[in-house]
Structure 1
């Protein structure tokens, strides 16, 4: 079974400004309510260490593999729960320039045996986590810093 969730946000800043915050994994703990900590190198084939905290859910450490990086435009990774094929998630951020700034689309495509029983959680807590992260990223990009 396959399932996809998506959350988008408009950010009144250029894609490079949004990318700078999205790509700064070390700073996630300072602002990100969904991915509470992140480390690793954003390059295809590299493994990341992430700690997800969906609203109302428990923390989940994952070690996905980066599958695509296009500076200022795309960041994607593929993670597995246990063995591949049980529960796989391809997480993607796409940044598109707009006349007002940037449209950020965060999505994840899930596949595997556990997708059906976990679908309610994906459509609830996980999607809420995407939206919370998008809103927090927007605030982070727009907040003045000295």
Structure 2
């Protein structure tokens, strides 16, 4: 099992950060990592996500939403072919702070392939950091425009 975890502090209310996070159809406007997304943040729903990591070709998958607790927690699982080959449990955890939102972005990889991939999953952290910074920029910009 491999875990990639990142965090960013966002100077915007948790409700606004959540709205930006789950407006999947708008990802194309701001998200350099998940460049295309569609679907609804509701347990049991399937999303359509296209990732583009630096130096790699785009990859599309259809994860299943497991948790969608507005303003707090979004979790989905994506799989390659069948369970146990390459599974990714993706999580976003939002925590209200005195100055805005603490945003945790995490993925737990399990299965046969992640164990064999070694450092190839390390670039995922860079993608998460790019996602986090873009989310921060988007949310803070929207917050400034409405304040």
Partner of 1:11: 10
Q: Deviations over 1:100-140 (max 9, x none)?
A: 110000000010000122231211x2110000000000000
Q: Does 1:44 find its partner at 2:14?
A: no
Partner of 1:83: 82
Backbone CA RMSD of aligned residues: 1.2
Cα distance in 2 for residues equivalent to 1:145 and 1:13: 11
The structural deviation recorded for 1:145 is 4.7
Cα distance in 2 for residues equivalent to 1:119 and 1:52: 20
The structural deviation recorded for 1:93 is 0.2
TM-score, normalised with respect to structure 2 = 0.94
More helix by share: 2
TM-score, normalised with respect to structure 1 = 0.95
Segments of structure 1 that go 5 or more residues without pairing to the other structure are: none
Cα distance in 2 for residues equivalent to 1:76 and 1:140: 21
Aligned residue pairs total 144
* Moved segments of 4+, more than 2 Å: none
Cα distance in 1 for residues equivalent to 2:73 and 2:5: 15
